[in-house]
Amino acid sequence: MLVCMSTRTTITIDEDLLDELKMRAAAEHTTVSALIEQDVRFAQLRRSETATREAPRFALPTFDLGEPKPGVDLTNNAALLEFLEGEE
């Protein structure tokens, strides 16, 4: 059995936001307190999910340029540069 304890507190909130919350609470047949608690829990969940999620890996674009030309040694920078300059 889960026992949930509530604590009464006072917050300062923008009047326009409070008016929006009151209208939303009326439309959803709930209380402003329940909406605030629900939204705070949702925000905490999003923050914890964002903090634990790994950053997406960056994918470099690749291009298929075909096979290297015969006689070109890709491990020899000087020879490769000489070959490339000769093609211009």
Separation CA 46–CA 52 (nearest Å): 10
Q: Is the torsion defined by CA of 4, 6, 12, 13 positive or negative?
A: positive
Note whether residue 76 is domain-resident.
Answer: no
Note whether residue 43 is domain-resident.
Answer: yes
Note whether residue 59 is domain-resident.
Answer: no
Q: For residue 81, is pLDDT > 60?
A: yes
Q: What pTM value is reported for the model?
A: 0.52
Domain tally for the chain? Answer: 1
Note whether residue 8 is domain-resident.
Answer: no
- Specify the pLDDT at position 16: 96
Domain hosting residue 44, numbered range: 15-51
pLDDT band at 88, cuts 50/70/90?
A: low
Contact 21, 36 (CB under 8 A): yes
Contact 24, 35 (CB under 8 A): yes
Rounded-to-10 torsion of CA 35, 40, 42, 44: -170
Note whether residue 58 is domain-resident.
Answer: no
Rg (CA), the chain: 31
For the record, the structure tokens of 6 come out as 């509530």
Note whether residue 5 is domain-resident.
Answer: no
5-49 pLDDT, tens digit each: 788 889 999 999 999 999 999 999 999 999 999 999 999 988 887
Give the type of residue at 33.
S
